[in-house]
Structures are given as C-alpha cells and as structure tokens.
Structure 1
Amino acid sequence: MDGAGLPTTRSTCPYCGVGCGVLLRPDGQGGLDVRGDPDHPANRGKLCSKGSQLGQTLGLDDRLLSPKIDGETADWDSALGTVASRFAATIAEYGPDSVALYVSGQLLTEDYYVANKLAKGFFGTANIDTNSRLCMASTVAGHKRAFGTDTVPGTYDDLEQADLIVLTGSNLAWCHPVLYQRILAARKNRGTRIVVIDPRRTASCDGADLHLALAPGSDVALFNGLLSEIAQRGLIDADFAGNVTGLDEALATARSEDLSVTGLSDTDLSAFFDLWCGTEKVVTIFSQGVNQSTSGSDKVNAILNCHLATGRIGQPGTGPFSVTGQPNAMGGREVGGLANMLACHLDIENAEHRQTVQGFWSAPAVPTSAGLKAVDMFRAVGEGRIKALWIIHTNPAVSMPEADRVRDAIDGCDFVVVSDVTERTDTARLANVLLPATAWAEKSGTVTNSDRTISRQRAVLPAPGDARPDWAILAEVGRRMGWQSAFDYQSPAEIFREYAALSGFAARFGRDFDISGLQNLSDEEYDTLAPVRWPVTATRVGGRFFGDGRFFTPDGKARMLAVNHRAPAASPCDARPFVLNTGRLRDQWHTMTRTAKSSRLSAHLPEPFLEIHPKDAARLRLSPAALVRVENDLGSAILRARITDAVRPGEVFAPMHWTGETAPSARIDALVAGACDPVSGQPESKASTVSISEYRARWYGFAVCSGDLHPTAPYWTRTRTDAGYRSELAGKAEPDDWEEFARDLFATDAAVQIVDDPKRGNHRFAFHAEGRLVAALFVSRSPTAVTRDYIATLPGTEAPAVLSGRAPADRPDPGPTICSCFGVGMNTIVQAIEEQALTSVDAIGAHLQAGTNCGSCRAELAFLLEKSRPMQAAE
C-alpha cells in the first residue's frame, strides 16, 4: 500500500517558532509524506531542511512504548498510581515547594495548560519552569518592563514591508530559514537592506549589506550608541514620545556609553547608524544571541528603546521582533509555563490576578510568589530541597548549563518522573518512572508561533503501543490525587475552551492576551480551526500592537529604561583565555532525539566540532581535523577542530546538540556556567570561558555498519546514514586485540577481511555476511584518511574493495552533504561548477536543485562558487 488513497491532514511543523504549516499524508507503511502547506500564513508552502525530512524521523526503533518503573515494564495503572502517591506523600511531608515540574516548548498548548494548572493551582507550587527559560525568558522580561505585558508587537508581514532588517544575535538563515527566505525575497523585490550583528560570521551574513562582528555581550552599548545618535540627529518622534516615560533618563545613560567596548570601528558604527537612522521602516529581529546573556533583559530593552524613541513600532514594516526557538515557546508563555507567571499573561505576584485564577480553577491555593527558575530549580534538586521532579519532553542532563552537575542532581533526586517518546536520552536513563507520551504526528492540539498565530497540530498516525497524550497523563495524575472535577477532561478541545474562557477574565485586567472569542468553539469547529493570530475577541482579530501609542502599563504608557553595558559574567584569563559561544546547526534540533533519526539531516555536519580562528590554531599548533580538549572548572569536552575565520581571535564556537547517546565527549553545555540574567533568570550560554589544548590520541578510527554501534573509546560519535551508522573514534591507549575491539564495536561474529600494519599503526577490518558488507573499521595513528561519505554508503552492498578506503573511478564520491533538502554533496557541486561553468548560486540550483527549497545552504554554495573562481580563471 503506497498511501495514495489516504487523506491529507493539515498540521504544524514541530521544530522552530516560525510555525510552518505542513500537509501530512500517511504512506501506508507507518511513515508520512510531508509537504509545506501553501495556505498557511507563516510559510506559504515553504519548509526548511528539517521540516522537509520529518518523514525520516518517525521510526519506532527507539520509542518508549510502555510505562516503566525502576527499569521494568509496568502498566499505566501502576505507573500513574506510583506518580500520584509519591507526589502526594512528598507534598504532605515536605510541603508543596518540595516538588517541581520541568517542561518544554515541545508541549502543545493544551498539555502546557494542564501542567501549569496542576502545579500552581493544585500542587500549590510555582516550581514549574520550562526549557524555554533557556531561549527567550529575557525577551519576556524586556517586553513586560517596556510594554507592561509580554507582547510581540508585529507580524511576519512586516519582514516583507520593511526597508531595513537588522538581525542581532540571530542566525536566521540556519535557525529560521523560512523567514530568512521571506526577507531575501523582499530584498530582491523591494531592495530591503540587511544588517547582521553577531560576533560570528554566519550563513545569515551571506545576504547582508553590513556585518557587525561586535564583542560578545556588548549589544547594550551598540544600541545605546544608536539611541544617542537618534537624538543627535533630531529623530525622536515627539508625538509618539508623549506615550512613553523614561526617555530623558534612557538618553542620558545612552550618551555616557563607551562604544569602544563593542570592538567595532568608527566606520562600521557610522554605517550602521546611517542605515538605521536613515530608514523609516526598520524591523530589528533578535533571538538567542541577545537573550542568552547575564544582561539579556537589558539588551532587549536597549533595542526596544530605539523603536519607542522613534515611534517605529506597531506600524507596517516597523518594530522589534523576537523570534522564538521552539514550536510552542509562545504557547508556553501564554499559559504561564514559566515559574514567574500565571496563565494568560497574568502576574503571580498580583493578588487580584491570583484570586481570579484560583477562583476560575476552583483551586485550593495559588502560590503568592514566583517559583524556582530552571537553573535554581536544578540547584535545589542537587541540594535535596526538591525531592520529587517531573520532567516532560526535554533533556536537561544535556541541555542545561552545568550539565554534568544537573545530570548528577537528577540522578540523586529521591523521585524522578520522565514523560517522553524515548527512553534513550541522558535524562530518561535517570528516571524512576518513565511514561510513554505520544509524539508529534500522533498529537492533537494547538501551538502559537512567533507572530502570535495559533495553529492546529493534528494527529495523523495512531499512538504506538501504550503511548498517551501528555494532557491525559497529567489530568489522570490530578484525578488520582483527589481533584476529579478540575481535571475531568475528555479532549484537547475541552481544555482549549477553558483556557480561552480564562483569557477573557485576564483581558478585564488590561492584559494583551485575549482569545475569548474562541471559548465557545464546538468540537467540530476546533478540529477545523484555521490558523488565527491573537487577540481573538468579539471585536478584534489579530493585527499589530502599539501603533496607537497605547500600552498595557498602569498609565498606558511605554517605559524606556536606562540600561548600561555590563560585561559577561566570566572574563578571559590566563587559565581560560577563550570565550566559548554555543548554538545550533542548520539541520539538527536540540538534543537530536528527532533529527538524529534522519540520515539526510545527519549528513551535513556529522561530527561535533569547535570553530577556532586560524591565528589561535597556529598558536596552539593545531592541524586541520585535530581533536581538541576544551576545559574549565565545570567540565571538559573533546571536539574536532574546525579552523575558520568565521570566529574572531580569542573566541570559539561549538554546537550544543550532541549527547551521551551520540557523542558523550561533546556535551558542550557541561562547560556553560549557570550565571543568569538577574531579571529574567536566563543563563548566559554565549560567553563562558575555557582553555583549549590538542587531544593527542594514540589512534584514530572511522567505522561504518549496517546495524547499531557499541563504541567504548574515549572519543566516539554515532551518526545515522542511509545504510546504517557511521562513527568517528579515538583513544590514547591501543587495545590488546584490534580484531576483538572491532567485533565488540559491531557486536558481530561475521567473517572478516583484515589489512594489518602494526608497525605503522594501520588496521582495517571488513566484516561480510551472505556476501554483503556488515561493517568496516579503519584505524591509523593520525586522523583516518578515507573517503568517508562514499564508504558510509557501502554497508548492505557487496563492497569487495572497501578496505582500499577509496571510491572507485566509476563511483564518484559525492562528498559531504551541502544541500540536505535534495541530498547534494560538496564534490558534486564543485564538479558541476567546473564542468558546467556555473557562475551563480541560482545557476547551481537550476542544474542540481541545491539551494532551491529552504535556501539555508545558499551561503555554502556561494563559498564553493567563490573558491572555484580562481581555478576557473587560471584555466
């Protein structure tokens, strides 16, 4: 059965906050055909590389299909009974603040709402926080300080109506590719200018008119300089300034700022000021590079100050714009998923707000103060103050700052529950109780994207095994703890109606979030709900905020804040001379529980790495492809050196995706200090300090196999391929028996071919069964020189000459994948450029399709094109 006759379902992509619509059709074999929804307002049919490959991520090979208690399979009755009784007993003995929930932007809004209601209304604790604390809490704080509420003023349409787009702390080309393509289209159609503000040169710089490689953490100084320039040029909007307080104080502070801390030249500063001041329609997009800082909230307010001073907010093509990292980070903000908020943007410290929520829920009590934010929560777990912890759809043993300490804290907690789709995560392996939850394509509910658009996520595949929706799991625990009527939900539609009704009460307090116009949706209307931007009331649907000069503060005026540059918490020193920046890759997602299943997504950058400047590499005597040890007082990591001038001297960059399941030595957040913004509680993930030295291995290996790998080396990686897995390995001590090592690595007793040169340290093994290659291992004293991308295709084939380590003349090696959407390798692209005399990225696309879908590889295509031009000229 090919699925051709099966219906197509409209749903929403589960990755970033763009909130792309997708069209899903079962293929009849448990998988999905995935296409972009041309009618969805966020993406208009476009998908990025990750969204395009969603069908590759649905396998059940690692799914958690039944509850487990202490590692043993259990039924739901036993598992939920254990969870309810242990939480009840802990609260009874130690009080409500002895328990906590740590949740995720992967939850649907209905799941999030029930979790927040259970914790704050019925457990009686505000100790519920979310991994969204790690990515956008500073924006929430900055919005609330300036606007009175956590309000995103504009919409995605502004990106196409602006004449200048400023990307600060945002590699939009890789992290939100669909939005970036909308900006590039505007550039082509109307000449939109682009400025990128980032210490690193990223893919987003490829289409930029100006790249400001500022010193890490100096954004406040830069935007204070801009505010001062705005005033000096007489660009303060006097009419709009009547709707703002704090202007004089903010200006006085801005004028005293020392712009030398930015590390930017006067020429670059003047160019930026000229562009911003000389362009009426400006949108400033900001993301993790702004938020993940000990001064993140001040950075946000420094940006908002410039837009408020000029009145460039709430009008078409203008405004500050926060883009979120997770599919439902916004939904989590709306339901009060953060420890310092209540549902519907109400404030936990406000007695009237608390009483309203408590009455609406008929709850025993609502906490009177904020709970523990993420970093403090896990410190409390480690100190034994939190004795029962429920973690839902997130992997804090990898993703939290000070990840080793967090892992140890979870391991030492009295009682840990993990709800997830898999038991193969660093966090799930520490749980006392594991609860199997439904995954993305099996869930039904809503999500909210970065421009306030609420979209339906619809189940298109049946729940496997005993997996249940998160809202149902949470509600059943609530019922078992004695709150039957409060959690007597039968469907996500019922939860949504309750949540929408509560928003109407919140609106009476002058809150921005109001979807009360949806509170009477029937089940059928909920099922067919089209994407809609909030607010949704009897008199208004969607639109922009603040263009009319009215805000959600007590006096209705916006607040401009006087903010000063503050350096990051850690300063480079002799012992730790490098500043470590962490972030995302184009084709991977969080800790890879989904994307690592896709061979195509894993092919682009298959190994963890450290970007380091050539001058620093020369000083440390690092050769290309050397392994390096990165260290500080918190931990260490081993990564592959990637020598590039994309980073500034003294600064390094490492991706945050690898885990104990995929590359144990590359858990980079183990080195990120838990220093937090004092207002938002968001940790500083962009400016830890580290030392770097070469990891001088005695041997290096490369392995491929048709089944799973079982590495034991000090350094190893595991990466999915079309034919199975590939692995990089290294160690300081050679095994006594290399053949035994290889058999243990592959767990095989198949017949083996061996090429052995012990004197030079070269060992090669190829295992065959029934005439097909099962696995191969290549070992040498230096990084193994074989055609990796070709060899990775050989398991399952006859591969008679695999031990040569080279692609034969009639089987050209495609090289590392550049375009994941269409699986086009670097060697294929370079060959086409040379043989077809291609002279533009568009020409490459026309010939090979590369770069014609999401466009996130276009910067790499341009780089390959530039490299080939001297060769073409020489010919």
Structure 2
Amino acid sequence: MTARPEGSTRPAGGACIKTTCPYCGVGCGVIASVAKDGTVSVQGDPEHPSNYGRLCSKGSALAETIDLDGRLLYPEIDGRHAGWDEALDLVARKFSETIAQHGPDAVAFYVSGQLLTEDYYVANKLMKGFIGSANIDTNSRLCMASSVAGHRRAFGADTVPGVYEDLEEADLVILTGSNLAWCHPVLYQRLAAAKQKRPDMKVVLIDPRRSMTADLADMHLAIRPDGDVALFNGLLAHLARSPALDDDFIRDHTSGFAEALEAARASEADIISLTGLSQGEIEAFYRVFETTQRVVTCYSQGVNQSSSGTDKVNAIINCHLATGRIGRPGMGPFSLTGQPNAMGGREVGGLANMLAAHMAIENPEHRERVQRFWNAPVIADKPGKKAVEMFEAVADGRIKALWIMGTNPVVSMPDADAVARAIRNCPFVVVSDIMRETDTCAYAHVLLPALGWGEKDGTVTNSERRISRQRPFLEAPGEARADWRIICDVAARMGFGEAFAFQSPAEIFAEHAALSAFENEGARDFDIGGYAGLSRGKYDELEPFQWPAPARSVYPSPLPYSRRRGEGAIDVSTLSFMQGAGEGQERVIRFFANGNFYHPDRKARFIAVQATITERINVAYPLVLNTGRIRDQWHTMTRTAKSARLSSHLAEPFAEINPADAAELGIEDAALVRITSPHGEILVRALITPRQPRGAVFVPIHWTDQFASNARVDALVPSVTDPVSGQPALKHVAVSLEPYRAAYYGFAVSQTRPGSVNACYSAFAKVEHGYRMECAFTEAPDDWETWCREAWRLPGTLSALAYHDRESGDRRIAFFDGDKLVLAFYAARTPVVVSRNWAVTQLGVTHDNPRRRITVMAGRPGADQPDPGATVCSCFSVGVNQIAAAIESGCGSVDGIGALLKAGTNCGSCRSEISAMLQAHLREIPAQAAE
C-alpha cells in the first residue's frame, strides 16, 4: 500500500529497502519503496522465510502510519522545549544522585518489545552491569514471561524448539489460547494454505471464546477459563495408558515423569468440572492427539496471561516429552510471541530475572562471566522487580527514578489507574517515545524523542528464533534519536563512557554476538558467535538467519558443526543449509529431537503441575472478563490509529456479550454498557454475539484516553500474577455489567478532530479526509449548534444546515465550507441510526447542490449511491452490504467473493467473517423454503 507522509525529509527517490514489520512476533519481511515525490509504499518480501511475501492488514497499511502527526520531535523538560544536552545531563544527574542517596535498586528501566535488540542490549548492560541493579523489565513480561519460565523449567533454557514449517508439516495443529487468525494472521494464512492442500490435516482450537480462528478448526473446545492445566494433565494420564507413550525417550532424555503423572492422575476425576467440556469432547481430543504422530501445539496469550500460566506451559510440554514429539518436523510445543522483538529482549536479558545471552542471574558463574566480558564495575546479583512489582515499588517509594522506553504502562498494565497514580507521584520520570500525547507521557518530567519504524536501524528476533534487520528508509524527523544512542549518551554522562562508546548499531550487535559465544562451546543454546566479527558493511547486508549460529557454522563455510562440549544439544540431522543464500545461511534448525537438553544432566524435566481453578466471580461481580486484541489495531494504537483503513473495521471500544446474558441484563445491541470491577469501571459499546460464551465478556486492550473517554480495560484488572513468571492474569477478571442509559447519543464525521468534548462517552477514529466520533450525553446540550461550534472550534463564518424531528427528538446539523462538508453531527435519544461508512465518504466529495446536502442530513445514501455497509475487508475497504449482495447474486464461496470484490485476497484475515456470512445465508435458504 502507498502513502505520502507529510512534514519529514525523505531519502532520494527510488530507494527500495528490505526491512521487517514492527508488529507481531511473526517477524514478516517487508520491502519499503520511496518514490521521488516522497511517497512510501510497502509490500511483503517474497524472499523472507517468515512470510514469503504475505502481509496482514496492519503490515499492508504500514505506509499509512509513518506521518509526523502527533510525533514527539524534540526533548522536553516539564513541558518546555529543551536541548539534548540539557535533557541528557538532567537524566544522568537525577539517576546518579538517586543511586548515590538510595542505592541502585532505587532506579528502574521499563522497556519494550518495540525496542530493537541493540537498544535492549545497551539498556540491560547499563542497568545490570554498571548501575548494578536488575530493575529492568519489559512489557514482554505481559505477553510471554510464562513461556520463558516454562521453557527454563522443562529444557534448562529459554529455547523455542520448532520452526514455522512445523505448522505446515504437522498432521495435527493444536491452537490453545491463540486467536491465530487475528493475532498472527500470516501464520494463520500459512496454516490455512497447508490445510487446503492436505484436507486430512486436523486443527483443534482450545479457547473459551469462539474466535474467528474457530472457522478453520475441525474441533473447538470451549474450555473454562484457566482449565488448560486440567485438560493437558488429563491428556498426559491418557497417554500413559496408550501406545503413544515413548518409553525410550522418557528413560534416556527426561526425568520427573512419575511425579508429573501422579499429579496428572489426581485431577482425572474432576476433569469435566475443571475444563467445562463434555466427556465426549475430552475423549475425542485425547484420541486424536494419541493417534497422530506429527503434532504441534501452539500457544499464546490465552495460556501465558494467567495466574497459572507457567504450569499451563509445562502441562503442554509434558505431553510432548511423554511422546517424544519434539524437535522433529511437524512436532513440538510452540510459543507464539506477541511483539516484534520480545525474543530479542529475551536474548539480551531484558527481563528482570535473566542475564544477557540466556545466562541465569541466579548462577554466580554466569554473573562472573558477564561481568568479566563487560569489564563492568559491578553485576546485579539477584533478580530485579518484575513489571507488576516494579510499579508497586514506584507506588510505595522504593523506586524513585524511572525510565520508560517505548511503551504505555498507564494503559497496558493491570490495575492501570494505580499505575498512573504511581508514575504521577514518582519523583523523577523519563519517557522515551515517538508520540507526544500518550497516557504515560502525561506524567513524564522529561520526554525524549525516539526514532520510529522506518527510521530505526537494528535487528529483531521472531518467534522461530529468526533474526532479521530493521533498516531505515526515512530520515530522522526533528531532533529524534535512536534509543541505543540516547541510552549510551546517558551512560557516558554517568561515568561509563568507555563501555558505551558505540558508534553504530553494528558495533552493538557484534558485541552481543561475541557475548553469546563467550566461554560457551555448546553449554548454552543461544550462540550467534558467527556474527561476532561482523563489519558495518556486512551488518547492513545481513540476511535473516536463525540461531544458533556459532562461528564454525557461519564462517568460513556453510557446513553442519559439532561441539566439543554438550555434543548434540542441537539435532544436527535437521541442521541443513541453503546453498547460495549467503554465508552460512541456515534453512531449518530444530532443537531436542535427539534429547540433550540444557539442564546439567542434559535431560528435560517433567514438571508436576496441579490442576486447580481459582473461582474469581461472585454475586457482586458474576461475569468473567477476558481481554485481548482485535484484527486491525496494535497495542495502544499510537501507530495503527493513524490509518483510516485500519480503523474502519472496529472503530470504537466494545464488549462482546452472549445474547442470553444481554437479554438477562437488559442490554441491547449497540447500546452502551458499564463494566465494573473492584478496581474501576469503563464504558463501551455492546456487541452481542453467540461467539462469546455465557457468563463471559470480551473487551479489546487497545483503546486509550487518546481515543476514548473511558475504555482503558486494564483499569479493571487486578494485579494478580503467576507466582513463577510474574506475568499478570489478564484473561480471568470478575466483573459486572449493566446497561448505561444516556439521555442522548451522537455520531459525527468531521474534517478535524474536536477539542474538548463535553460528553459522558466519546470515541474517535481516523477516516479518509478526517475523523468520526461516537458520543453520548447524560443530558442534552441547551443548543446543539452552539455545542458543535464550541467542540470543533468552528469559525463563525460557517453557516449550519439543521434538522429537528420534534416527535423523536432527532437532531441533524451539517456545516459546509463552500462545497466541502466540514462537520455532520447526528443526535438521537437512542443509538444513532446512520449509515456510518457512507457518512464518512461525504467528507471527500463535492456538495455543490441542495440535494446532496439534504442527503447528508438524512444520514443515508440515495438510490444512486449504494451503501457499502460496515467494513469487513480492511485491505480493500469492502463492506458487509457489498459481500451480502455478492452472496445473493450467486457467489457461493470465499474465493468467489474474492474474485469479484478482492475481499480476503490480500491478508486473508477477513476470510473467516466472509465464510460466516456464507454459512448464515445457506442456513436461511431452508428456513425460507419451509415458510
């Protein structure tokens, strides 16, 4: 897709740069092209092994998110423009003074999976090796810390055994706690394509909610929240009675099986109540796992974001160890990470309980080795504060200086209002970010402008251990600087200049690679020593590669390697190389097929886990809240909300509610609902759908105070964490729901975003040529026209065209500047009935006659202007009415609709919605015939 960014200097036209998408952990390759007029276009890189040219809707719209609107372009101190020297001096002085007065644990860094590996590396080095505290944690703690903990308990290292090809080579793919269709769309496309080629392939979805991924599944198990341990414990007990048990693998390569099996058998009698599944469903799942050799179990946030997340991970891994189904083609447990560089953060020790290069902070030998390699004056000798603990320490004053980099914890952390209070009251807060107005930036004493995607230079690691380059194709805007440069400049001012005298990210990467190989010789899984001597030129040319990549595997020739110590830790039979693909470029590397794990005895550990359910609901809060992502938005929307196309699918915050629950509570579709927990309340739109199970409600995580008046869902979530990983439980929260009765509801389309909106509810979204807004009022303004003029700061020269239905109370007001619509506002006593997608288009057309202006007032198109309806396909802006018309005309397949309308032919994320519409139509036909 193509866009022309405004307000920034661009490189010479004709540049064509291979880089990596900055969104999810799939790590898709992207080709960015810059035309002579500065227009940027993006497309999938057909040679990148993560996506082979595919992109999701967000990746396809990257060019629409790189403008400078809202960017932080220069340092600020207490809200005033400051120079870099003044800002950096202040940060260094405040941190140094705090350390001198209160000790190193009085300061902290809270970083992000949006950072590049080189940024992460220097931040971790500064905090753990020179400040001497481990108080550096990352927002990746919120998405995959339980996977890390589970890997370390089972394997002895944070090792992802498999690769993406396993999803295509498996005969059974289990997706548990993963809405793959919306959260990892390119992997979903790869899986869907494989299933189409091999219809006998089976897909099982384990999820309380019938997400869009369920449409690909042969079996959907609507499990109770947190019932996963019981389900997989029961599977382990079943496998122990079956021929699928691999006694040789268990004997030769594992320990702890008897204890794990005893714990698993303890929950068999209660498995139906613990899982909420029927006996038939359980038996069918166990049978297909038992009888299918090539099984991959993919898990994501639905597993990790739990108070028992680490136990869930180990319950899954136990089943793969018991059958020896690990590390071979189409077999193994597979953690799908959420962020583009969550894995890179793990590699450099960005978590508070880890050291760099997958070394352990609790291991004195590892600490001594890292300190010696860095020539550091000190090394952190105990784990630091994990994310939730960190902000609790900020709140009670133990942490007095905090540096937040590239993340928005006032929105994303549990108990978000308490986090906001903690940051507001912290004596010194620094925020490095690309956006000026975020919920977290509001509390910063110092704001530091960082580079964004398209400007940054470094590497990221995806879910299959593949390291790829993010390359710049845009010049740095304003005074923005790279995160690694900002960190190194502060380190130098704190007296550590020699250790942070890096002149490029290439130098940082080379040091990172060298540390990974330092005194390793096969003892540790993470080894990219083959790139330790990488020059700047070679770094610029670096092709995607999977780790491990020790020196002998990369240079001088692309041949399999052996290790003097820890022989066979990698299954070298699958360590093949692609000739002609660059020096030492691996094709596929899997771990553990031949055993040889990373515990001292080289055996994996079965972990005995207990199957219990914590009942969180009660009379006051009788419903379970599940939080998560939607298809077209990313995290707290600072980038994706810039794209009108991405905002067209779901334009305001909502709650999915089961129809029976909605009827019982008196909630109508599209009405406003108040959701309350002991920690706070939010106000969102009701989306009534049978995809949501009874007794539960789903709310997306994305909306912030920048885009809605009261929709920060994590304000409802308590700070309950997994006791092993410290990961918050974001998917099992007790809440209550009630309808919110507003006196009036409003909808607007406008050229500009309004300023202060005096309404009890409001939500904004970018559209072509302007904005749209939903709002509601506890009482109607005295004069609607005056309210509109004040909210949008309209000049008095604009005249208004107004309509008032005295019987219904409906109000319509439109303001025109010549033949251009400036603002159309619709108000009603019930949720406004307006063709929203059509109304949006009126901002970009000419209104040069009275008939057109009257049509705007009516809020729906005339017969000559068909209404596309609500957006289904964001890539090609295809609406529900267009798809319905195609179905009515005889299009009987998703591919047929794609051929006619293009819907579903780019990223494919909407294919499940199109399929649901087709199925609904087919169900209607016999019903109509019966009538």
Shorter-normalised TM range: over 0.9
User: Which is worse superposed, 443-452 or 27-36?
Assistant: 27-36
Please give the alpha-carbon distance, in whole angstroms, between the structure 2 residues aligned to 1:796 and 1:221: 56
2:637 alignment partner AA:
M
Contact 2:768 2:844 in 1 (8 A): no
How far has the Cα of 1:731 moved from its partner? 1.7
Q: Does 1:527 align with 2:573?
A: no
Please give the alpha-carbon distance, in whole angstroms, between the structure 1 residues aligned to 2:12 and 2:804: 52
Q: Does 1:825 align with 2:901?
A: no
How far has the Cα of 1:776 moved from its partner? 1.2
Q: Give the secondary structure class of the aligned counterpart of 1:434.
A: strand
Q: Give the secondary structure class of the aligned counterpart of 1:665.
A: coil
Please give the alpha-carbon distance, in whole angstroms, between the structure 1 residues aligned to 2:783 and 2:385: 52
Residue 26 (structure 1) aligns with: 34
Contact 1:344 1:506 in 2 (8 A): no
Return closer, same or farther for 1:148/1:553 CA change in 2, 3 Å cut-off.
same
Please give the alpha-carbon distance, in whole angstroms, between the structure 2 residues aligned to 1:418 and 1:514: 32
Q: Give the secondary structure class of the aligned counterpart of 1:812.
A: coil
CA-to-aligned-CA distance 1:824-873 (integer Å, 9 cap, x gap): 111111111112x0111111111111111221111100111122235556
CA-to-aligned-CA distance 1:275-301 (integer Å, 9 cap, x gap): 111100000000000000000000000
Residue 115 (structure 1) aligns with: 123
TM-score (norm 2): 0.92
Return closer, same or farther for 1:4/1:418 CA change in 2, 3 Å cut-off.
closer
Please give the alpha-carbon distance, in whole angstroms, between the structure 1 residues aligned to 2:391 and 2:903: 44
Residue 571 (structure 2) aligns with: none
Contact 1:699 1:731 in 2 (8 A): yes
Residue 341 (structure 2) aligns with: 328
User: Which is worse superposed, 379-388 or 325-334?
Assistant: 379-388
For residue 96 of structure 2, the aligned residue among 78, 85, 88 is 88
Q: Give the secondary structure class of the aligned counterpart of 1:320.
A: strand
CA-to-aligned-CA distance 1:797-843 (integer Å, 9 cap, x gap): 325121111111111111111111111111111111112x0111111
For residue 859 of structure 2, the aligned residue among 766, 780, 805 is 805
Aligned runs of 1:243-642 on 2, under 5 Å? 243-257=253-267, 258-260=270-272, 261-505=274-518, 507-508=520-521, 510-537=523-550, 538-539=552-553, 540=561, 541=586, 543-568=589-614, 571-642=616-687
2:271 alignment partner AA:
L
Please give the alpha-carbon distance, in whole angstroms, between the structure 1 residues aligned to 2:879 and 2:684: 23
How far has the Cα of 1:382 moved from its partner? 1.0
Aligned runs of 1:702-741 on 2, under 5 Å? 702-710=747-755, 711-741=757-787
How far has the Cα of 1:767 moved from its partner? 0.9
How far has the Cα of 1:723 moved from its partner? 2.0
Please give the alpha-carbon distance, in whole angstroms, between the structure 1 residues aligned to 2:649 and 2:167: 29
CA-to-aligned-CA distance 1:625-662 (integer Å, 9 cap, x gap): 11100001100001111111111111110000000000
CA-to-aligned-CA distance 1:327-371 (integer Å, 9 cap, x gap): 000000000000000100011111111111111111111111000
Please give the alpha-carbon distance, in whole angstroms, between the structure 1 residues aligned to 2:539 and 2:473: 16
2:710 alignment partner AA:
S
Q: Give the secondary structure class of the aligned counterpart of 1:132.
A: helix
Contact 1:30 1:461 in 2 (8 A): no
For residue 788 of structure 2, the aligned residue among 719, 728, 742 is 742
Please give the alpha-carbon distance, in whole angstroms, between the structure 2 residues aligned to 1:101 and 1:31: 37
Please give the alpha-carbon distance, in whole angstroms, between the structure 1 residues aligned to 2:450 and 2:821: 37
Q: Give the secondary structure class of the aligned counterpart of 2:495.
A: coil
Residue 718 (structure 2) aligns with: 673
Residue 699 (structure 1) aligns with: 744
How far has the Cα of 1:775 moved from its partner? 0.6
How far has the Cα of 1:181 moved from its partner? 1.0
2:837 alignment partner AA:
D
Return closer, same or farther for 1:522/1:4 CA change in 2, 3 Å cut-off.
closer
Contact 1:137 1:680 in 2 (8 A): yes
CA RMSD of aligned residues (A): 1.4
Q: Does 1:213 align with 2:219?
A: no
User: Which is worse superposed, 638-647 or 503-512?
Assistant: 503-512
2:401 alignment partner AA:
A
Q: Give the secondary structure class of the aligned counterpart of 2:460.
A: strand
How far has the Cα of 1:588 moved from its partner? 0.5
Please give the alpha-carbon distance, in whole angstroms, between the structure 1 residues aligned to 2:672 and 2:613: 31
Q: Give the secondary structure class of the aligned counterpart of 1:725.
A: strand
In the alignment, structure 2 segments of 5+ residues that lack a partner are 5-10, 554-560, 562-585
Contact 1:48 1:177 in 2 (8 A): yes
Q: Does 1:226 align with 2:271?
A: no
Q: Give the secondary structure class of the aligned counterpart of 1:818.
A: strand
Please give the alpha-carbon distance, in whole angstroms, between the structure 1 residues aligned to 2:234 and 2:373: 47
How far has the Cα of 1:755 moved from its partner? 1.2
How far has the Cα of 1:315 moved from its partner? 0.5
How far has the Cα of 1:762 moved from its partner? 2.1
Contact 2:13 2:36 in 1 (8 A): no
Q: Give the secondary structure class of the aligned counterpart of 2:841.
A: coil
Question: Percent identical across equivalent pairs?
Answer: 56
CA-to-aligned-CA distance 1:98-157 (integer Å, 9 cap, x gap): 110000000000000011011111111111000000000000000000000000001111
Q: Does 1:651 align with 2:696?
A: yes
2:193 alignment partner AA:
A
How far has the Cα of 1:757 moved from its partner? 3.9
Contact 1:506 1:513 in 2 (8 A): no
CA-to-aligned-CA distance 1:415-447 (integer Å, 9 cap, x gap): 111000011110011111110001010011000
Please give the alpha-carbon distance, in whole angstroms, between the structure 1 residues aligned to 2:872 and 2:367: 52
How far has the Cα of 1:736 moved from its partner? 2.4
Please give the alpha-carbon distance, in whole angstroms, between the structure 1 residues aligned to 2:853 and 2:630: 36
For residue 161 of structure 1, the aligned residue among 169, 177, 182 is 169
Q: Give the secondary structure class of the aligned counterpart of 2:213.
A: helix
Residue 661 (structure 1) aligns with: 706
CA-to-aligned-CA distance 1:65-88 (integer Å, 9 cap, x gap): 111110011111111111111111
Contact 1:706 1:796 in 2 (8 A): no
Please give the alpha-carbon distance, in whole angstroms, between the structure 2 residues aligned to 1:410 and 1:477: 21
Residue 51 (structure 2) aligns with: 43
Please give the alpha-carbon distance, in whole angstroms, between the structure 1 residues aligned to 2:764 and 2:888: 34
Please give the alpha-carbon distance, in whole angstroms, between the structure 2 residues aligned to 1:441 and 1:670: 32
Please give the alpha-carbon distance, in whole angstroms, between the structure 2 residues aligned to 1:729 and 1:859: 30
Residue 853 (structure 1) aligns with: 906
Please give the alpha-carbon distance, in whole angstroms, between the structure 2 residues aligned to 1:475 and 1:31: 33
1:196 alignment partner AA:
L
How far has the Cα of 1:508 moved from its partner? 4.4
Please give the alpha-carbon distance, in whole angstroms, between the structure 1 residues aligned to 2:19 and 2:670: 42
Please give the alpha-carbon distance, in whole angstroms, between the structure 1 residues aligned to 2:175 and 2:37: 42
TM-score (norm 1): 0.98
1:746 alignment partner AA:
W
Please give the alpha-carbon distance, in whole angstroms, between the structure 2 residues aligned to 1:695 and 1:785: 18
Please give the alpha-carbon distance, in whole angstroms, between the structure 1 residues aligned to 2:436 and 2:647: 21
User: Which is worse superposed, 750-759 or 615-624?
Assistant: 750-759
Residue 888 (structure 2) aligns with: 834
Q: Give the secondary structure class of the aligned counterpart of 1:386.
A: coil
Q: Give the secondary structure class of the aligned counterpart of 1:580.
A: strand
Please give the alpha-carbon distance, in whole angstroms, between the structure 2 residues aligned to 1:552 and 1:499: 21
